[in-house]
Amino acid sequence: MINPFFKNTGPHNINFLLKHINLKNDNLPDDKITDIKDLNSSKKSEITFLHSKKYTDLAKKTKASYCLTSENLQLFLPNNCKAIITDKVLLHTAQITKIFYPDSITDDYDNTVKDIAETELKDKIKYGKNVLIGENVKIGANCLIGHNSIIEKNVKIGDNCSIGSNVIIRNSLIKNNVHILDGCVIGKKGFGFFPNKDNNFRYPQIGIVIIEDNVEIGCGSTIDRGSLSNTIIGKNTYLDNQIHIAHNVKIGENCIIAGQVGFAGSSTLGNNVMIGGQAGISGHLKIGNNVQIGGGSGVIKNIPDNSKVMGYPAKDLKNFIRENKW
């Protein structure tokens, strides 16, 4: 899928890219690279990255032509993918992403927006006061938008959706029967930095947010767009108020998540997961299907299917109860 929100400046010569990030490799041909993507979605003539053993299974199947990786991890790449060795995989990935998508670093306001009364949508949906709509926004039948909300350019919203008041939506594809309550911010850039004592480097965020059918998102919640992959909320999932979902998080179907839960980047939830209020989920974790996580828990490792956990760090619920008897 062509990204409708960020312009790709490619193709770029592989040696041009490496020169601009001060990375030498004298044995590469003058191949044209069309894009940068994650291991799973990359294709021939694209570049990807591998920075952790957690992703070696994906690395073995990648179709990318080039991969930024370390000396130790290059062994997991298939023959079709040439390794570019670096001890700064994530930093160099971010720098190349910025070359392909220079407008992905900032989140400036959308200067194409206009009052909905000045657009073709004015007679198609119900809306409150001070609603602003960007160019090329598509909204389906039987939708409603509350006061002071902004839907920025290229956003698509399906049928039978309601958007509350004081909501901002950008870089997002929203499907049918979705309800987004007051004060939500959907699709802004995630919190990705590389610390540097002189000047912290922000990681570009070129992914989007995809919200599947029959989802409800509670008041004051924020869902960040993905970095290289997308942030996805699965069908029939209900999010309570003041929930934060970071970049690249994938939430499965039929999940119920209580208020003030926070997800760090790139974690994945299975289907039918229930999470109590104020729980925290660390980054790059896999939470299985049918998992239940007690309120206030801190999840710092993967959780297998059908588990019940609680505590900080989260542990098997029976063990938690046994250790915390009054």
Alpha helices (runs of H) in 122-224, residue ranges in sequence order = none
- 247 is a catalytic site residue: yes
Work out whether strand 286-287 and strand 126-127 pair parallel, antiparallel, or are unpaired: unpaired
> What φ, ψ does residue 194 adopt, rounded to 5°?
-110, 110
- Active-site residue identified among 12, 92, 244, 247: 247
In 3D space, the residue among 269, 268, 222 whose CA is nearest the CA of residue 241 turns out to be: 222
| Residue count of the chain | 326
Q: CA-to-CA distance for 313 and 326, rounded, in angstroms?
A: 20
CB 188 within 8 A of CB 168: yes
Dist CA 247 CA 263 (whole Å): 9
**In which region does residue 67 sit, left (phi positive, over 0), alpha (psi from -120 to 50) or beta (all else)?**
beta
Catalytic residues: 247
